[in-house]
Structure 1
Amino acid sequence: MKSKIIETSISLFGQRGFKETSIQDIVDQLGLTKGTFYYYFKNKEEVLVQIHERFIDDLLEQQNHIMESTLTEKEKMHELVTMMIRNIRTSVNSAMIFFREMRHLNEEKLSYVRKKRDLFQKNIEKLVQNGIDREEFRKDLRADMISYFILGMANWSYFWYEPGGEVSEGQLADIYTALLLQGLEKKG
């Protein structure tokens, strides 16, 4: 039941927003009582925290798998961008909640989620720096700024990209990666 409450909350928070969704909306959707909700969660924010944790933990796990692979840094970059675009289809509501509703977390929980979000960014920075160190990427660029560029490019896609549309997620990942790697490419 706990996972059903979380999944329903993801759907409702994604459609309406965290503030605009009440506990009553969640239980009505599931045909439950508020008592059932409170058996599993203290409040709506606790559900929001778990949504944030599940989303970032899943991204970190996928990222870790890519980072630990034996691929070149260029190949890892392509895999990472592909994974981020694929998550639009598989986790669009969770992603929207993650980016849009973080402001509703209390300071302690926000700090915890930020640390994980920062780890995700630092791993991208490390990937770029490894590419620079291995001479796959240009040496005149800052790895930290490139990591923010990658995050901005991929994360903004959650707001406009339609996975079932004219451009497949593979095509979009290829376009993004081509532009990114051409900019990072070490010149003769």
Structure 2
Amino acid sequence: MKEKITAQSIRLFEKKGFTETSIQDVVDSLGVTKGTFYYYFSSKEELLMDIHLGYIDGLLLYQEQILKDASKSCKEKLFEIVTMLITSISSQGAAAKIFFREINNLNSEHVELIVQKRDQFRLNIEELIRTGVENGEFRPELDVLIITMAILGITNWSYQWFNPSGRVTDREVAEIFVEMILKGIQVN
């Protein structure tokens, strides 16, 4: 039931927004009581935090798996990370929207935890780019922080416009992004 409450809340938060969606809206849409909701969550904010953690923890776990793969070059790892980010929008678009749009509705302690995890994701990409520069895969004069922010900017914003059932697949979008990124940073 916890998963059903979370999934339905994601749909409602995406459609109406966090502040405009009440606990009553959630339970009514599922045909359950508020008692059922409160069995799993102490508050609507705790539910929102659960959604945020589910999204960022999943990305961090997958990113870690990619980065640990010693058989892949930095270029290949970068492609896998960008693909993962676009694919997460395809598979978890509503949760991605909530993650980026509703963070201000978390209390300051929860925001701090999410920001730490988001920063770790960014730092992992920075380290990947830095390693690519050091091993000669990427140009030596790159501003690693700016390149990292550019990568995150183009991928994270795609939740606003990417349509998984549109003319281009998530993998094709990732290929376009990575080609655009690498043509600017890849050594000839």
Q: TM-score with structure 1 length normalisation?
A: 0.97
Matched residue pairs, number?
A: 187
Shift of 1:40: 1.5
Shift of 1:169: 1.3
Shift of 1:171: 1.3
Aligned pair 1:58/2:58, yes or no?
yes
Aligned pair 1:97/2:122, yes or no?
no
Runs of 4+ in 1 over 4 A off after TM superposition: none
The CA RMSD over aligned residues, in Å, is 0.8
Q: Residue 135 of structure 2 aligns with which residue?
A: 134
One-letter amino acid matched to 2:39: Y
Write out per-residue CA displacement over residues 39-78 of structure 1, whole angstroms, 9 at most, x where no aligned residue.
Answer: 2211100000000000000000111111011200011111
Q: Residue 25 of structure 1 aligns with which residue?
A: 25
What are the residue-to-residue correspondences of 1:7-156 with 2, within 5 Å?
7-69=7-69, 70-156=71-157
Quote the Cα distance in structure 1 between the aligned partners of 2:39 and 2:73: 49
Quote the Cα distance in structure 2 between the aligned partners of 1:126 and 1:12: 37
One-letter amino acid matched to 2:84: M
Aligned pair 1:166/2:129, yes or no?
no
One-letter amino acid matched to 1:11: R
Quote the Cα distance in structure 1 between the aligned partners of 2:56 and 2:16: 21
Shift of 1:6: 0.9
Shift of 1:32: 0.7
Quote the Cα distance in structure 2 between the aligned partners of 1:40 and 1:166: 40
Quote the Cα distance in structure 1 between the aligned partners of 2:46 and 2:13: 13
One-letter amino acid matched to 1:15: K
- Percent identical among aligned pairs is 47
Shift of 1:156: 0.7
Gaps of 5+ in 1: none
Secondary structure of residue in 2 paired with 1:158: helix
Quote the Cα distance in structure 1 between the aligned partners of 2:34 and 2:80: 43
Q: Residue 5 of structure 1 aligns with which residue?
A: 5
